[in-house]
Amino acid sequence: SSELAQDPAVSVALGQTVRITCQGDTLRSSYASWYQQRPGQAPMLLIYGRNSRPSGIPDRFSGSTSGNTASLTITGALAEDEADYYCNSRDGTTNVMLFGGGTKLTVL
């Protein structure tokens, strides 16, 4: 079955750049969307489509795709960016909405 694979944990030094990746066959034909989830809160949309951000999302968050891998890049990580990050994409064959397992980002 289709799935989206994410690294369970990633760390970044304060102010540095970090890339969080998401791998899956569905990404060859469907864009990923990215969500940030802080402890005790609902997920929040960060990136969708090719590289679109909802109003209010800082431009230090960006998205890209190459082949079967989607990436979320945080340029100049802040302490407040410490959270779980999830990718999501539609399986073009089954129409099921898939979530990656999530990546816990630690800002050092």
Residue 13 C-beta: closest distance to other proteins, Å: 26
The verdict on 104 binding other proteins (CB under 8 A) reads: no
- DSSP string for residues in 20-44: EEEE-GGGGTS--EEEEE-TTS--E
Judged by CB under 8 A, the stretch of 17-25, 43-51, 60-68, 72-80 that binds other proteins is 43-51
The residue among 11 and 52 lying less far from other proteins, judged by its C-beta, is 52
Beta carbons within 8 Å of 40's beta carbon, 6+ residues apart:
none
Q: Which stretch binds other proteins (CB under 8 A): 17-25, 60-68, 69-77, 81-89?
A: 81-89
- Report the amino acid identity of residue 55: S
Cβ atoms within 10 Å of 60's Cβ, excluding its own = 13
CB–CB of 76/13 below 8 Å? no
Can you tell me which of 15, 49, 58, 76 binds other proteins, judged by CB under 8 A?
49
* 10 forms part of the interface with other proteins (CB under 8 A): no
Point out which residues bind other proteins (CB under 8 A): 1, 30-31, 33, 35, 41-45, 48-49, 52, 54, 86, 88-90, 95-102
